[in-house]
Chains A and B, each alone.
Chain A
Amino acid sequence: DSGVTQTPKHLITATGQRVTLRCSPRSGDLSVYWYQQSLDQGLQFLIQYYNGEERAKGNILERFSAQQFPDLHSELNLSSLELGDSALYFCASSVSSGGQETQYFGPGTRLLVL
């Protein structure tokens, strides 16, 4: 158990809908990362938050957005869902020290768009 929690574990929805995925980082970790894992693309970085502020963006679609709250939990919002958005979504949390950092991943949310 990495200490990172994600809810829900599974989500089934229809095209055009909007969903929210939730992540609670390990105690004390200030950074939260979101990744998408699909069969053909592998694990792809979406976005990073650090202590409530957006720190870096990767291949995140404009239909997707995220935020990190004062208690450090984060939410990933996916809207106008398409079939191709079906994937596993992981969050990871980390703490940095001396320029070194390790990311610990949550169990993921499996999203199926029908």
Chain B
Amino acid sequence: EDQVTQSPEALRLQEGESSSLNCSYTVSGLRGLFWYRQDPGKGPEFLFTLYSAGEEKEKERLKATLTKKESFLHITAPKPEDSATYLCAVQDSWGSGYALNFGKGTSLLVTP
């Protein structure tokens, strides 16, 4: 059975203090690994998809990387507007269609 574990559960950073969020996964075969951002009471907002180990993608202050067992979301010089819950999800190539299996998320708070 697919498993997605995110750590830490919560993270508090000072503005400008860089850090990384971790997503460990177990799947029969990885079709894709996804990162989403979710603000309170809103729907998840797509950030990145990674398909193979060694792949990296960047968007503004965010950079996502992928290995065979985990993915990292690096946040460089974060700003208060980066505060949100970051969700990691996997698509299993042997699973139900293209359904996403989500981790429980990392709640990030960036203070001025």
Contact = CB atoms under 8 A, between A and B. Distances in A.
A45 B32 contact: no
Contacts, number: 67
B99 A45 contact: yes
B90 to A, nearest CB: 11
Given A43-B87, A100-B49, A90 B98 contact: no
Interface in B6-52: 31-32, 34, 36, 41-46, 49, 51
A105 B43 contact: yes
B49 A102 contact: yes
Contact of A103 (B100, B101, B105): B100
Contact of A48 (B51, B98, B102): B98
Contacts of A104: 46
Interface bracket on B? 20 to 34
B43 A107 contact: yes
Contact of A102 (B46, B87, B97, B105): B46
B31 A99 contact: yes
B43 A106 contact: yes
A55 to B, nearest CB: 5
Contacts of B41: 88, 108, 110
Closest 6 CB pairs of A and B: A56-B97, A56-B96, A105-B43, A43-B102, A45-B99, A42-B104
